[in-house]
Amino acid sequence: MENLVEESTKSFSIQVTEEGQGKRLDLFLAEANLSLSRSQAKHLIEQKMILLNQKPVKPSIHLKTGNVISGTLPQPASLSLKPEPIPLLVLYEDPSIIVINKPAGMVVHPAPGNPSGTLVNALLHHCNDLSGINGALRPGIVHRLDKETSGVMVVAKNDESYHQLTRQFKNRTVEKVYLAIAHGNVKHNEGQIDSAIGRHPDQRKKMSTKAKKGRVALTRWKVLERLGPFTLLEVHPQTGRTHQIRVHLSSIGHPILGDPLYGKKGTVEMMKKMGRQALHAHRLGFTHPRTGERIRFVAPIPEDMKEVLGLLRSERSREI
């Protein structure tokens, strides 16, 4: 493909070669050297900021050799959020990325009801070079954890790193390993859940495997330890749907201990001690966006989960 980008105005023009013949426009742009994800490309096409042969088109249009794609890329949004001196547990940092161990109870980025005290506010205080390509409210954020899920996260510090990391998550080449304490004695030693996930038909805050328009979701799991009425699982989500692990485990009758949305009701003593869903992002492996080296980071199991596991082991030993 011939790719001309004017840095000063961020306008560009690309002539499609045989290599791009038949490809969807949004996919083609995501694979071009424009630092765009497919969803970003789709949005710009729908906003008529990207044209095909000088005409607005749909993101799904298939390209032909000789087509000319042109448009203007918006400058990364300036970051207007307030930096806050919130302590961060940094596992690794270099000019391209920062890897942190997010505590339970911390929201990743500001949203209605959570304007401050978020991971982003803390990162803005810690770093002065976060990528702004994902917008003013989510600088550098390439993936996220639920508020009450603890564990390892990577954040991009420049636009190229953001683009490289989002592509890895999209292509499912990122290793994601979670630890979960699930209700019940899980029957098999390992298995997988292959059920599409979408918005719950009646409860809009929840996701469900029974949604009419669910997206493909795959979760692999294996038993690490059986603890009487609970099981410690190692969970490997192959996709990244909202609440995926929580929804999938609940769908097979083994919801996560302490999960307020998908868990069991009642005042089980262990639920009160946990105070949140017992889900921890334990390990994250990916290719470094600058060096190309395969790297892996581990966030040790947090104290609250350690305490509950200790109590469950004690009860289990007394029963035996």
Distance CA 232, CA 185 (A): 9
Between residues 31 and 104, the one the model is more confident about:
104
Note the pLDDT of residue 5. 37
Is residue 80, in this structure, part of any structural domain at all? no
Note whether 239 and 300 are same-domain residues.
yes
Note whether 245 and 117 are same-domain residues.
no
Q: Which of 19-33, 81-95, 178-192, 227-241 has the lowest mean pLDDT?
A: 19-33
Query: For the chain, what is the mean pLDDT?
Result: 87
Note the pLDDT of residue 254. 96
Note whether 204 and 284 are same-domain residues.
yes
Model confidence at 88, in pLDDT bands (50, 70, 90)? very high
**Residue in 101, 135, 93, 97 with CA at minimum distance from that of residue 119:** 101
**Residue in 237, 221, 97, 92 with CA at minimum distance from that of residue 172:** 237
For residue 156, pLDDT over 50 is answered with yes
- Just list the catalytic residues: 146
Q: Kind of pairing, strands 207-208 and 190-194?
A: unpaired
**CA angle at 21 for the pair 173 and 12, rounded to the nearest 5°:** 80
Note the pLDDT of residue 282. 98
Note whether 129 and 228 are same-domain residues.
no
Distance CA 33, CA 282 (A): 33
Last residue of a domain, one of 170, 188, 222: 170
Mean pLDDT along residues 122-130: 84
Domain that holds residue 101: 90-170
Note whether 152 and 118 are same-domain residues.
yes
CATH of the domain at 153: 3.30.2350.10
CA separation, residue 165 to residues 40, 134, 154 (Å): 15, 12, 9
How long, in residues, is the chain? 320
Note whether 155 and 180 are same-domain residues.
no
Q: What element of type H or E holds 170?
A: helix 159-170
Between residues 5 and 116, the one the model is more confident about:
116
Q: What is the pLDDT of residues 30-84, one digit of tens each?
A: 888 777 778 788 889 998 999 999 999 999 999 999 999 999 887 655 445 788 9
Number of domains, the chain: 3
Is residue 81, in this structure, part of any structural domain at all? no
Note whether 208 and 290 are same-domain residues.
yes
Note whether 185 and 315 are same-domain residues.
yes
Is residue 147, in this structure, part of any structural domain at all? yes
Q: CB–CB of 221/236 below 8 Å?
A: yes
**CA angle at 17 for the pair 15 and 20, rounded to the nearest 5°:** 100
